[in-house]
Structure 1
């Protein structure tokens, strides 16, 4: 049996964007990125270019991002911060 051909994996790794933040940093800041992306996706990409690059390259992290964003949209608010501004808590509560 011939060894598996790893050229496709090697090519994919060599094409990785040098500013890619990687899974660790992306997961750590994903909730912040999602909040910002819900309001302004272009601004999120400008403020967090490494996370944006990683989401284009990593299917697993992109699925997490899409799921969190879908949850925000399903809740009827653009982001938790937006919800707080639209529905402030009464003083003393």
Structure 2
């Protein structure tokens, strides 16, 4: 037996450069996931504030505020997109990388 490594690469392990790039990509995604986790927590607080504000508006005017309702819809869409990114169900990052919808 020789102490020299086998020069034939193992296809299951991949090239070292490709593995290093993949590892960097995973760490980068983890960083974005951490940032989005903090923003998601802030969004939860905003959602509660939006609900309280809309309830107060309806209590005094007997009608919903369409601007608050629209903001709530958009915030909910952002939270859903963020949850998909966090769960790795999607590679698309939410706003500000995509349109605020």
| TM-score greater than 0.5 by the shorter chain | no
Larger Rg over CA atoms:
2
Normalised to the residue count of structure 2, the TM-score between the two structures is 0.30
Normalised to the residue count of structure 1, the TM-score between the two structures is 0.32
